[in-house]
């Protein structure tokens, strides 16, 4: 079951979920993983716990811990990591499932691939495959209306994160706006990208042209 705030429980299939959170007393959370490392979250104010798993890069860099701890200190506690590291195999499963969904709706193969690529990268091409990305909360743009999102816009660069797919950069990223998806690039790069108002694609090109 998936547990929202106030203890409302919603049955669902968890095959595409990397994180769980609950505020129901006595409810145990468990995840199964291969080469990932579990991340545990505790919200003492709201008496909630969370559990997710991370790739080795993200774990070594303490990405989840540093960001969540700072947010909690600022009073933003209604947040959790929904998805972090994702294997290429898992990426293929998500991509193929999306394509099949559109094919069942009567779309052509070309249309199904195009629609899928608006939100899901091909296997091997996702930030998640590198262990350098995190998706927050329910993985939809309702996250943009939260105080936690506003906090990230102002402070995430201090922890090396940038908004990976900004709303005004869709023509550059080729991916639809994702307020929930944040990418680790390092503190120096994150601050410089925001200063230049660049997405990752623009920034990489900027550096390749000899700029600093």
Q: Would you state the torsion angle of the CA atoms of residues 51, 183, 115, 112, taken in this order, to the nearest 10 degrees? A: -70
Closest C-alpha among 58, 57, 46, 54 to residue 22: 46
Residue in this structure with the two tokens 């102002």, named with its chain if needed: 154
CA distance 25 to 132: 32
* Catalytic entry in 93, 111, 118, 178: 178
CA distance 56 to 159: 17
Decide if 37 contacts 54 (C-beta within 8 A): yes
Q: Is 178 marked active-site?
A: yes
Count of CB atoms situated within 10 Å of the CB of 70:
15
Residue ranges in the chain assigned as alpha helix (H): 56-60, 63-73, 88-104, 109-117, 127-130, 147-155, 170-173, 187-196, 200-208
What are the structure tokens assigned to 59, written together? 């774990």
From residue 5, alpha-carbon distances to 21, 39, 104, 151 in Å are 9, 20, 34, 20
Tell me which residues are annotated as active site: 178
């Amino acid at each position: 079951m998936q547990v929202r705030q106030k203890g409302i429980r919603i049955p669902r299939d968890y095959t595409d979920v990397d994180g769980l959170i609950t505020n129901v007393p006595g409810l145990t959370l468990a995840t199964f993983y291969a080469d990932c490392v579990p991340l545990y979250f505790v919200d003492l104010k709201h008496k909630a716990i969370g559990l997710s798993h991370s790739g080795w890069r993200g774990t070594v860099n303490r990405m989840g811990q540093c960001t969540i701890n700072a947010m909690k200190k600022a009073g933003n506690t209604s947040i959790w990591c929904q998805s972090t590291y994702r294997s290429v195999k898992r990426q293929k499963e998500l991509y193929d499932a999306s394509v099949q969904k559109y094919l069942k709706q009567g779309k052509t193969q070309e249309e199904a691939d195009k629609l899928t690529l608006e939100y899901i990268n091909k296997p091997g091409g996702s930030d998640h495959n590198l262990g350098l990305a995190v998706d927050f909360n329910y993985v939809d743009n309702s996250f943009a209306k939260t105080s936690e999102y506003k906090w990230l816009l102002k402070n995430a660069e201090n922890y090396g994160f940038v908004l990976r797919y900004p709303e005004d950069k869709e023509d550059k990223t080729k991916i639809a706006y994702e307020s929930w998806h944040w990418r680790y690039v390092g503190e120096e790069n994150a601050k410089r990208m925001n200063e230049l108002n660049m997405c990752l694609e623009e920034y990489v090109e900027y550096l390749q042209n000899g700029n600093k």
